[in-house]
């Protein structure tokens, strides 16, 4: 039982393309999304993290980072899926340096 990484959650081929995803990965993802959305750095940058259950054969335990603080989660996901808003590929510097530790912490709960 390996611990997931930020790359696992953000890459279409993460968790070995989804073949190695476990229930605990979905649970850690939910806590990670909540923690990041409550984080002051994300709020001040106007960024939101959304859970994305990719359909098909690839990683079903993904997250998407988008601009849109203040909009409902479902609306942001619909806008992203429609191509009306873009995914943000880099977290703010303060979180980029700490994200590996933050992900690991969510697996320890």
Instruction: Give residue-wise pLDDT tens across range 45-100.
Output: 999 999 999 888 789 999 999 998 678 888 888 899 899 999 999 999 999 889 99
Q: φ and ψ at 37, to 5 degrees?
A: -70, -25
DSSP assigned state of 66: E
Is the whole-model pTM more than 0.85? yes
Asked whether 31 and 10 are in contact (CB, 8 A), the reply is no
Rounded Cα–Cα distance for residues 66 and 83 (Å): 11
Question: 27 CB contacts (<8 Å, ≥6 apart)?
Answer: none
């Amino acid at each position: 039982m390996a611990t997931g990484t930020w790359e696992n959650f953000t890459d279409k081929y993460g968790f070995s393309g989804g073949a190695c995803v476990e229930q605990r990965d979905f649970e850690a993802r939910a806590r990670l999304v909540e923690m990041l959305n409550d984080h002051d750095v994300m709020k001040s940058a106007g960024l939101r993290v959304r859970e994305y259950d990719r359909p098909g054969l690839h990683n079903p335990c993904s997250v998407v980072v988008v601009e849109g603080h203040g909009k409902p989660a479902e609306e942001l996901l619909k806008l992203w899926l429609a191509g009306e808003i873009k995914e943000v590929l880099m977290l703010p510097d303060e979180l980029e340096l700490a994200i590996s530790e933050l992900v690991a912490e969510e697996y320890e709960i």
